[in-house]
Amino acid sequence: MSNTMPQTLPERPYRTDGVLVSRFFAYLIDLILIGVWCLFLGFIILVLGVVTFGLGWALYTILIPGAGILYSMITVGGSKQATIGMRMLGLRVIRRDGALVDPVTAGAHALFFYVAGITGLLLLIDIVVGLVDSDRRMLHDQLAGVTVVRSA
């Protein structure tokens, strides 16, 4: 019989309790902001299309996904490390290695999320992974190497 005490893991320096519900509501807020962003970019594409005799209107095909990814690159990849919706609900994104989230990682994170979102089965798998993971990391978080945590 061994007299060794069970080893406990050191406490995480961040909190992940309740982040999945908060993330859902943060995303609803972000969807509104992305919609406004799409209107702005859509107007720019409209003007560009007129100036280029219709060639610029091809950019409408990438407007919505491009706007969402660009929004994430600017906000999550910026100094606050969170979208506006996340900030409103007290969340932020951290990298697993402790470094700041750069715009490319933020864009990849958003791309993985949107790919899962348009393929219903992957979205379901993404959510299930988030429910069973101890850090509440969804599959697209794990692929991008990030975690969504409480900011305070």
Task: Lowest mean pLDDT of 60-64, 65-69, 110-114, 134-138, name the range.
Answer: 134-138
Are 91 and 26 a contacting pair, CB within 8 Å?
yes
Average per-residue pLDDT for the chain: 89
pLDDT attached to residue 1: 52
DSSP 146: E
Q: Mean per-residue pLDDT for 94-104?
A: 90
Q: Mean per-residue pLDDT for 64-85?
A: 95
Q: If you write DSSP's letter for every residue of 82-139 in order, what string do you get?
A: S-HHHHHTTEEEEETTSSPPPHHHHHHHHHHHHHHHHSHHHHHHHHHHHHHSTT---H
Residues of the chain by 3-state class (helix, strand, coil), percent to 5 = 60, 5, 30
CA angle 140, 20, 149 (to 5 degrees): 80
pLDDT attached to residue 9: 38
pLDDT attached to residue 8: 45
Q: Mean per-residue pLDDT for 63-90?
A: 95
Asked if the model's pLDDT at residue 34 lies above 90, the reply is yes
pLDDT attached to residue 97: 85
37-57 pLDDT tens trace? 999 999 999 999 999 999 999
Q: Mean per-residue pLDDT for 55-63?
A: 94
Per-residue confidence at 11, pLDDT binned at 50, 70, 90? low
Question: 91-95 and 146-150 as β-strands: parallel, antiparallel, unpaired?
Answer: antiparallel
User: Which two structure tokens, joined as six digits, stand for 60?
Assistant: 């409408």
What are the domain boundaries of the chain?
Answer: 19-150
